[in-house]
A and B are shown apart, each in its own frame.
Chain A
């Protein structure tokens, strides 16, 4: 048996994640993903007022803090059969749009960038040549020669001071870092800009939702920011920030992404990190007031085995969760259960004496959700591929343009590189459209300033909220009895992506994506981290679970 390498903690993610890999001849031959924290939210919300579920379940995650709130409110609205008015729908789309843009910028530059870029190479970069490069690739955001000199100087000072802080102990000097020094300086310079720019996304969310993280402006039936959207000054503050974000996406994020994409073309050509090639999107950003799933900005659908010629319609009844390899108990662990009937009974069975996961038994607090009994990848790549294959013209143009720029065929999308690229492209897709939604909001406000639809809380009801979070498909299911929550379940994006094996021994999406991945050094498994981070793991979310 190959030696098992344990990577725990995985850093630059949300939550507690362990990845174990076996490497043979420079390739990963086995991969296990284990969530190591359990909190039990679904047990806690039981017997509470359904209207409080949103603020509660929001605390599942502090990174994409808004989406659980959104999903929970939508689930309760679905149960009590109320539709928020148009203003509220648009405000919610705008808040979520800001969340996506901000989250993806942070991911690319701050959480994922260090997997692709060796910061220390800045010291070898020539600021003049960096400027030329920036102009050549259109990465023009804050791209003066003086700026690059200053950034280089700052990095030099930092290295001299010996205080590397969180940059200390990175895999610097790893031979798999291929981005040349000038491109590194450009990207590090934009890393600094990203830290400033991403705040604007948070501010938009705060204007429309009170604060961020953990927005506080949604209620079942609507939104609370009525005074803000009736104030032209506040609206101006929102649109100004969206414009700044869009500028950054267009003149930094996308060109930098393509620049790195060219360097790491191999990842696309060899489909490194592709995984099962099954993709699922619930569809989100409702474009009509009836919240019709057929009329969503990101369409719903399923793609199997990388077959882009056929999008299978999404059916919420085909979702199930398995626990054969998760630390829970089912009466019959050979089959999955729909979240409506989900059971969560913790059953921790420990690790091997040498501290590794018991891969034949149970090894994670993450359950294994399956669609039609198949493992699925969710997230930006799934959304983009479903939209692409569904004939969404705007997405097709963005994707084809990017592929042309890095000279890769569409099949290259099935890779770690494709996953990272899709995240950037959907950021641009959203940034291009928020202004339109904003315009609709202003037009509508001229005739109608409603932000809330009154409703009666029924004695008994059942409903679900299936939305798209930045990290992928997110679902909340709620049953109400005697005006209280009787049963609550969530399946979150990282549960899909970081699930362990299921009853049929099928690996989870990330586990499968790691199989066959190169790994030059099991001591510094940089390539493994690239693929893990490309899913943007969010583990507090993944392990929410519990019932009754």
Chain B
């Protein structure tokens, strides 16, 4: 068994190196990445440290650290077109400041963006020129990142973009058509976002639903930027998007908020906050009774934490609202009330006494996605989880 794994690992490394060589030939070796890091004041040493953390996040053994670094250096040469649809720009803001570690932000923030209308300098015609130039020059070679959902009611008139006033759907279609891979970020692009909550007046749909594709989704309101960077790096290393479950990368969405909750011991001990600011709240007890949706929510808020791991909603005393789950605005509301019994049978009864009942459920769901989990990903397409639209078209 051990030998088999070692051999598989060796093969994987070989393939990965070959792929990186190929990418360098294709997109060029000199990426300017190191220059950008220097521009932002980051040393080579910190960069390697970050690469090690990133490898671990992606559940790759340490031998991949150098390769992650190499992939990160190539990343800026992979053209990215970042589109905004019906959204609030919180996901872009998330890369400006919330994430940990910083280098992930830099990659997203500066390096790879051929088109991104929040931070780019040109406006109007010149911005559109950047878009069309990039689409032409990098046809079939760019990654398209979508932020926001697509309004489809009223002939798509609820969103019109650019000097030709194309609808969101038209813009998405024209850009996605020639993309190498598509990644949908945030709740809006992944599941439709708050504007798609009942009664969904604008007919907002997720990217996958509106376009009939199968892009990898990185939900959350907003999402954690390390989840996106991890996905991109994985793509560079292995030529495919990472293993997903329900469309979400397992490395980031493999565990429930409940499983990694800093207040978990209080749940298990039956110690609950019952009113905001009560004695239990001062002691940091479990927030389940004031509406925490952690037991139903798969996300990594607790582990990398927010704003460079300085806090997270649960740490500051508010329950999880389930923002990385489909239709959470409708299914999990009212948000200050505990999950209804119909959603999780028996939990009301159990919560006060045991809580342990849930632990088993959690781990059964996760499986053991440890270090070598990516081996399994080889068969990912066969499981119907197509990582990007391109693959789908090819099939």
**Contact call A170/B222, Cβ cutoff below 8 A:** no
- B120's nearest neighbour on chain A, judged by CB, is A166
Nearest CB to that of B126 among chain A residues? A169
A216 to B30, CA, bound (A): 42
Instruction: Report B91-118 CB contacts with A as 1/0, cut-off 8 Å.
Output: 1111011100000000000111100111
Stretch at the interface among A59-67, A127-135, A253-261, A313-321: A59-67
Asked whether A61 and B118 contact (CB < 8 A) given A11-B127, A224-B281, the answer is no
For the complex, what is the distance from the CA of A120 to the CA of B124, rounded to whole Å? 21
Interface set, chain A 142-178, CB cutoff 8 A to B:
151, 153-155, 157-158, 160-163, 165-171
Does the CB pair B97–A158 fall under 8 Å?
no
CA distance A14 to B93 in the complex (A): 10
Looking at the assembled complex, report how far the CB atom of B62 sits from the nearest CB atom of chain A, in whole angstroms: 29
Given contacts A9-B162, A37-B159, contact A212 B307 (CB under 8 A): yes
Q: Are A192 and B41 interface neighbours, CB within 8 A?
A: yes
Distance, CA A363 to CA B206, complexed state (A): 27
Known contacts: A41-B194, A56-B329, A454-B275. The answer to whether A14 contacts B88 by CB under 8 A is yes
Question: Given A169-B121, A206-B307, A451-B276, is A216 in contact with B127 using a C-beta cutoff of 8 Å?
Answer: no
Among the stretches B249-257, B312-320, B340-348, B374-382, the one at the interface with A is B312-320
A210 and B116 contact, Cβ closer than 8 Å, known pairs A9-B123, A59-B90: no
Please state if A224 and B154 are interface contacts (CB–CB under 8 Å).
Answer: no
Q: Within 8 Å CB of A14, what residues of B?
A: 88-89, 118
Interface pair A199/B76, CB less than 8 Å apart = no
B197 within 8 A of A: yes
B336 pairs with A206, CB closer than 8 A: no
Instruction: Let me know if A39 and B40 touch, CB within 8 A.
Output: no
Q: When A10-B124, A51-B335, A217-B313 are in contact, do A161 and B282 touch as well, CB less than 8 Å?
A: no
Known A-B contacts A37-B158, A222-B277; the reply to A213 vs B222 at CB < 8 A is: yes
Partner of A39, one of B86, B93, B278: B86
Could you say which residues of chain A place their CB within 8 Å of the CB of B117? 9, 11-12
Instruction: Report if B163 contacts A (CB, 8 A).
Output: yes
A61 with B281: CB separation less than 8 A: no
Shortest CB–CB separation between residue A458 and chain B, in angstroms?
A: 16
List chain A residues, Cβ under 8 A from B122.
11, 168-171
**Residues 179-214 of chain A, each 1 if its beta carbon lies under 8 Å from chain B, else 0:** 000000000000010011011001101111111111
Instruction: List the A side residues contacting B110 at CB < 8 Å.
Output: 165-166
Chain A minimum-CB-distance residue to B320: A216
Across the interface, name the chain A residue whose C-beta is closest to B335. A52
- B335 pairs with A55, CB closer than 8 A: yes
0/1 interface trace, chain B 274-318, chain A, CB 8 Å (1 if under): 011110011110000000000000000100001110111111111
With A11-B117, A163-B111 known as contacts, the answer to whether A207 contacts B310 (CB < 8 A) is yes
A38 CB contact (under 8 Å) in B32, B77, B120, B151: B151
User: What's the Cα separation between A69 and B51 when bound, in Å?
Assistant: 37
Q: How far is the CB of A187 from chain B (nearest CB, A)?
A: 15
B57 at the interface (CB under 8 A from A): no
- Bound together, the chains give a CA A7 to CA B315 distance in angstroms of 44
Q: For the complex, is A30 an interface residue (Cβ under 8 Å from B)?
A: no
Identify which of B31, B161, B284, B301 contacts A8 (C-beta below 8 A). B161
Question: How many Å from the CB of A500 to the closest CB on chain B?
Answer: 15
With the chains together, A274 CA to B289 CA distance in Å? 53
Q: Is B190 an interface residue (CB 8 A)?
A: no
**In the complex, are the beta carbons of B87 and A210 less than 8 A apart?**
no
* Cα–Cα distance between A154 and B321 once the two chains are bound (Å): 43
- B222 near A219: Cβ-Cβ < 8 Å: no
| Interface residue B25 (Cβ < 8 Å from any Cβ of A) | no
Residue B129 interfacial (CB < 8 Å):
yes
**Distance from A407 Cβ to chain B, minimum over Cβ atoms (Å):** 31
Q: Is the CB of B121 within 8 A of A166?
A: yes
Smallest CB–CB gap between B104 and chain A, Å?
A: 13
Chain A residue contacts of B124, Cβ below 8 A:
5-10, 525
Chain B contacts of A211 at CB under 8 A?
98, 301, 306-307, 311-313
Report the Cα distance A225→B197, complex, angstroms: 28
Give the residue of B31, B159, B301 whose beta carbon is less than 8 angstroms from that of A36. Answer: B159
Q: B221's closest neighbor in chain A, by CB?
A: A214
Q: Is the CB of B161 within 8 A of A219?
A: no
- Known A36-B160, A44-B199, A224-B316: A206·B111 in contact at CB below 8 Å: no
- Expressed in whole angstroms, the Cα–Cα distance for A169 and B39 within the complex equals 19
CA distance A166 to B202 in the complex (A): 31
- A2 sits at the interface (CB 8 A): no
Q: In the docked arrangement, what's the CA distance between A206 and B86, Å?
A: 25
Structural contact, A158 and B35, CB atoms closer than 8 A: yes
Q: Which residues of A contact B111 (CB under 8 A)?
A: 163, 165
Task: Tell me how far the C-beta of A200 lies from the nearest C-beta in chain B, rounded to whole angstroms.
Answer: 9
Shortest CB-to-CB span from A430 to chain B, Å, is 18
User: Chain A, 514-539, contact with B by CB distance < 8 Å: what is the 0/1 string?
Assistant: 00000000011100010000000000
- In whole angstroms, what is the CA distance A525 to B123 when docked? 9
B333 within 8 A of A: yes
CB neighbours of A452 from chain B (8 A): 275-278
- Cross-interface CB contact of A154 among B35, B154, B201, B278, cutoff 8 Å: B35
> A114 interface residue, CB < 8 Å from B?
yes
Task: Establish whether residues A44 and B158, one from each chain, have CB atoms under 8 Å apart when the complex forms.
Answer: no
Is residue B334 within 8 Å, beta carbon to beta carbon, of the partner chain? yes
A contact residues around B276 at 8 Å (CB): 219, 221-222, 224, 451-452
Given known contacts A14-B118, A546-B201, A62 and B76 CB-to-CB distance under 8 angstroms: no
Chain A neighbourhood of B277, CB < 8 A = 222, 224, 226, 450-452
A165, B90: Cα distance in complex, Å: 21
Known: A9-B161, A49-B333. A44 touches B281 (CB 8 A): no
The answer to whether B123 touches A10, judged by C-beta atoms less than 8 angstroms apart, is: yes
What B residues does A341 contact at CB under 8 A?
A: none
Bound complex: CA of A101 vs CA of B338, how far in Å? 36
Say whether B194 contacts A56, CB under 8 Å.
yes
- B173 smallest CB distance to A (angstroms): 17
**How far apart sit A431 and B40, CA to CA, in the bound complex (Å)?**
26
A4-44 residues with Cβ-Cβ distance < 8 A to B are 5-16, 36-41, 43-44
Q: Which of B71-90 contact A (CB under 8 A)?
A: 76-77, 84, 86-90
A213-B318 in contact (CB<8A): no
Bound-state Cα–Cα, A5 to B41, Å? 40
Residues of chain A within 8 A of B301, CB atoms compared: 211
A449 within 8 A of B: yes
Beyond contacts A170-B121, A219-B336: 13 other A-B pairs, Cβ-Cβ < 8 A, are A9-B123, A11-B120, A12-B123, A51-B336, A56-B329, A62-B94, A154-B38, A167-B121, A169-B126, A210-B315, A224-B316, A227-B284, A450-B277
8 A–B pairs (Cβ distance < 8 Å), ordered by A: A5-B124, A9-B124, A11-B127, A15-B89, A51-B334, A56-B329, A59-B88, A169-B126
Q: 3 closest pairs, A vs B, by CB?
A: A62-B90, A161-B32, A452-B277
